[in-house]
Amino acid sequence: MSVIINGSAGVTTNSGAVYNGLQTDTAKSATGTSVDFTGIPSWVKRVTVMFSGVSTNGTSVIQVQLGDAGGVETTGYASSTWTANTNNANFTSGFAIRTSNAAAILNSGHVMLTLIGSNTWVASGVMGRTDAADTSVYGGNKTLSDTLTQVRITTVNGTDTFDAGSINVLYE
């Protein structure tokens, strides 16, 4: 086995697979109607989407969507979300981080996406409001047509605009 130095050197495991360590992208300001992370390496088995003080100008729920070479997939998600003060909700257009939203809610937390096999990804995470006492937990799954290459953060209606915070991803 090799030693990982700054996440740049690969390690060959006993099974012969190459593991490239933890890698982060460049944090992006949450602006516009979506924030995209593209060019995800084919060796990735887990993607953690990290939110810091992210808010929108409207009431549409923030969600994470997955994409492959064919583009971002907007249907076929099996996702459930529970938010402390508003109960449960199911979503099929992405992995939602709350059951409801209001303008200027500040969200901080993460969505962990893990490859379970055959292009099927499972999601789980916790999101807290940093402007009020409220927490959401969520989980779900999505099977892509091909290998994951991109992650999009947007709203369910696709038109509300991000107006605060930053988002980044961690690959492993």
- Show the tokens assigned to 100: 């409801």
Q: How far is CA 4 from CA 19, 38, 44, 77, 108, in A?
A: 9, 24, 16, 35, 29
Give a yes or no: residue 167 inside a domain. yes
CATH code, domain carrying 113 = 2.60.120
Is the confidence at residue 43, as pLDDT, over 50? yes
Residue 160 has pLDDT above 70, yes or no: yes
Residue 61 is classified by DSSP as P
Query: What pLDDT was estimated at residue 77?
Result: 98
Confidence grade of residue 18 (pLDDT, cut at 50, 70, 90): low
User: What is the rounded average pLDDT of the residues 96-118?
Assistant: 95
How far, in Å, CA of 171 to CA of 164, rounded?
24
55 occurs within a structural domain:
yes
Tell me which residue range forms the domain holding 95. 22-171
Q: How many CB atoms lie within 10 A of CB 117?
A: 8
With CA atoms as reference, report the closest residue to 30 among 58, 51, 61.
51
Query: Based on the structure, what is the number of domains in the chain?
Result: 1
Residue 36 buriedness (CB in 10 A; 0-12 / 13-18 / 19+): middle
pTM recorded for the entire structure: 0.88
At residue 158, the pLDDT reads 95
